[in-house]
Amino acid sequence: MVSIRCKMIVKSKLEKLGILYGTVDLGEIEIKQDLTAEQLLQLKNGLAKSGLELMDDKRAILIEKIKNVVIELVHYEDEFPKMKKSEYISEKLDYDYTYLANIFSEATGTTIEQYIIIHKIERVKELLIYDELNLSEISYKLNYSSVAHLSGQFKKITGLTPTFFKKLKHKKRINLEDV
């Protein structure tokens, strides 16, 4: 689950099925009762109709947690932490980073670092569209070493310079669910 909307859909499906739950968080549901096979099937089918998937594979769950930590880090934190991203992710999930990096790249075909870069570029696009911060401020906010580093990464990923992107009339961003 990536968005607040997803959490609302999940809560609605749980309530409709009369399933007792505690917290519904990004990528996790705390179920307060044992589910029958029929309830589990109904929940899976109900979520599937909304484009969501109930995961019970521990590796798949961990990969979703990694994705959610990256999304929270890049899109929802007020300021990018000054610690290494590997330490941040490892600390948040309480796993060794090498282990997390290996299962993530095996399952997704990309590295966690590349996944972070793609999300950082999407965040840069968002901040450019809002037009509240200049490129220096965006660079600082997202913990880039320099504006040149941000610009280079932006051009490598999008094929455009940040300045050219800002001038476009129809700015194209990718939905978080699709990144």
Q: What is the DSSP string of 12-54?
A: HHHHHTT--EEEEETTEEEE-SPPPHHHHHHHHHHHHHTT---
Confidence tier at 5 by pLDDT (50, 70, 90): confident
116 within 8 A of 97, measured Cβ to Cβ? no
Q: Are 13 and 50 in contact (CB under 8 A)?
A: yes
pLDDT of residue 178: 66
pLDDT band (50, 70, 90) for residue 1: very low
Q: What architecture does CATH give domain 59-178?
A: Orthogonal Bundle (1.10)
SS3 of 25, please? strand
Model pLDDT for residues 75-120, shown as the tens digit of each residue: 888 777 778 999 999 999 999 999 999 999 999 999 999 999 999 9
Q: Between residues 143 and 179, which one has the greater pLDDT? A: 143
Looking at residue 153, its pLDDT comes to 97
Q: What are the residues facing 24 on neighbouring strands?
A: 29
The pTM assigned to this predicted structure is 0.73
Domain boundaries of the chain, sorted by first residue: 4-54, 59-178
Q: Using alpha carbons, select from 64, 104, 72 the residue that is nearest to residue 88.
A: 72
pLDDT of residue 169: 62
State the pLDDT confidence band at 138, using cuts at 50, 70 and 90. very high
Strand, coil or helix: what is 172? coil
Residue 179 is predicted with a pLDDT of 65
Confidence tier at 29 by pLDDT (50, 70, 90): confident
